[in-house]
Chain A
Amino acid sequence: MLLLKDLVRKVKDLPPLPDIVVKLLQASRDPDASVREMVELIKHDPALTTKVLRLCNSSYYGLPRKINSIQEALVYIGTDTLVNFILAGCLAAFYQQSQDGYGLESGDLWRHSVGCAIAAQLLSPADDDALKSEAFTAGLLHDVGKIILSSFVGDKMQEIMDIVKDEDIPFEKAERRILGFSHTEAGAQMAKMWNLPEPLIEAISLHQTPQAAVNHKRLVAQVHVANILCISFGIGIGTDGLAYSFDPSAMEELELNSDDLYAISVKVHDQFSRAEDMIGLIAPTGHADAKAA
């Protein structure tokens, strides 16, 4: 059984979240932060600048002219999208390894996270750019706890799945009973240690139990439904499969019925297919370069 100190030690063993991510997240939530400040943060990182320009000039955006500077990129794709992209680029490094404990092959968790980010964003009100951006980020991060728990799951996966089936309870409850922590709790602990904003911590922590959300009910509901959609479509799922509970209170919060959800699923599929290009671009280890060549 895991103790909190084991978890903390494991998080400390991970590479730290790059400073630029935390600074950009803070700047993007600050209405007084200027585009110039954002550009200043990014332009001192040549590798990041190259990736951002490559993304802007990719078929994903299909812009009519070539973008040559971060300043131009911000004008064309907007600050929120740029922050999302940079965050995704930094997080990709954490997600590329296989999470063998969960039966996830290399890249599976990343595909699941990108799918969830796209779906969570699409579930936002059309006129709420801030929530769209926050939902995308929360979607990317919602299962981050699997990265550290994977090595502890090890050969206990079968035991966890036996409990799921015998007692008909959701995966995270059986996971907590066997390991001492669920991946949602582990993820929330990571997010706290990385000093991520409070709405993201709540979304990571409660995305399986959205009725427990207090301060960010809408965001948590979006991530819950997005996660259920991606699991249902088999996007980056592992041995845990579809062993998660759907909470209808999230649909009430979002004022959706199942037909609305089916219609949104088509859009998720369309955007996820187009994002394959983006997924390749932000891969950290040679993938993007190989693709560009």
Chain B
Amino acid sequence: MTPVNEFKAEPVILVGMAELSVTNHPNSCLTTSLLGAGIVVAVHDPESHVGGLLHFMLPRWSIDKESALDNPALFADSGIPALYKRCYKMGAEKERMKCYLIGGANVMDRTGGFNLGADNLNAATDILSKNGVSVEKTWSGGIEGRVIKFHTDAGRVDVQIRGQQEVE
């Protein structure tokens, strides 16, 4: 006999730095380790219920080509195509997919010698725009660490700043 009001917990998938994960479970939560200058690219197709998260570290695969071949999720320009390909394989279609960007915080640097967060954000927006993808919403910059929860049921992104209770 099927119990009334059966509760099914939302499966939680942790996506660490330089990792990507894609699911077609209609009710899962993809979450990240703490984000600094790295960027999370979250994508969602509401029809196929495919959702994916990429947490990349660095802007360009030319920084370390050998490592990019081993793990495309390290870099924006190797990780983003890999994320989309995985989503397509699970039934997502580009025209239906929504894309969100989160992260790209920066340490204080008045000389412009080390702007990893900005470099990462530029690399991500550049590759997405070259491929005709418009970004629905971006949470970026600042000096705060962020934690992401991406709910694949509705494609909702919760962004929490470390040390604060509110969720954006």
Contacts and interface: CB of A to CB of B under 8 A. Distances in A.
B52 interface: no
A107 interface: no
Contacts, number: 107
Contacts of B105: 241-242
B107 A248 contact: no
A4 B63 CA distance: 47
Contact of B163 (A168, A238, A259, A263): A238
Contact of B37 (A238, A242, A244): A242
Interface in B69-115: 74, 105-111, 113-114
B137 interface: no
B108 A245 contact: yes
The binding surface of chain B is classed by DSSP as loop
Given A234-B33, A241-B162, A168 B108 contact: yes
Contacts of A242: 36-37, 105-108, 117, 142-145
Interface residues of B, number: 34
A233 interface: yes
Contact of A241 (B67, B111, B145): B145
Given A232-B37, A251-B113, A266-B63, A103 B108 contact: no
Given A234-B36, A241-B145, A269 B113 contact: no
Given A231-B36, A244-B108, A239 B162 contact: yes
Contacts of B111: 246, 248
Given A246-B113, A269-B18, A232 B58 contact: no
A265 B57 contact: yes
Given A232-B116, A242-B105, A266-B74, A157 B36 contact: no
A179 to B, nearest CB: 17
Interface in A124-183: 157, 161, 164-165, 168, 170
Nearest to A252: B113
B64 A266 contact: yes
A95 to B, nearest CB: 17
Nearest to B111: A248
Nearest to B64: A266
Contacts of A258: 113-114, 116, 119
Given A232-B37, A234-B38, A259 B63 contact: yes
Contacts of A259: 63
Q: Which of A170, A248, A251 has the largest count of B CB atoms less than 10 A from its CB?
A: A248
B17 interface: yes
A70 B59 CA distance: 44
A241 B144 contact: yes
A237 interface: yes
Q: Which of B37, B142, B143 has the largest count of A CB atoms less than 10 A from its CB?
A: B143
Interface string A172-210: 000000000000000000000000000000000000000
Interface in B122-154: 142-145
18 contacts: A168-B108, A228-B107, A232-B107, A233-B37, A233-B38, A235-B34, A237-B34, A238-B162, A238-B163, A241-B36, A242-B105, A242-B107, A243-B143, A245-B108, A248-B109, A263-B64, A266-B57, A269-B18
Interface of A: 103, 157, 161, 164-165, 168, 170, 228, 231-235, 237-239, 241-246, 248, 251, 258-259, 261-263, 265-266, 269-270
Interface of B: 17-18, 33-38, 57-60, 63-64, 67, 74, 105-111, 113-114, 116-117, 119, 142-145, 162-163
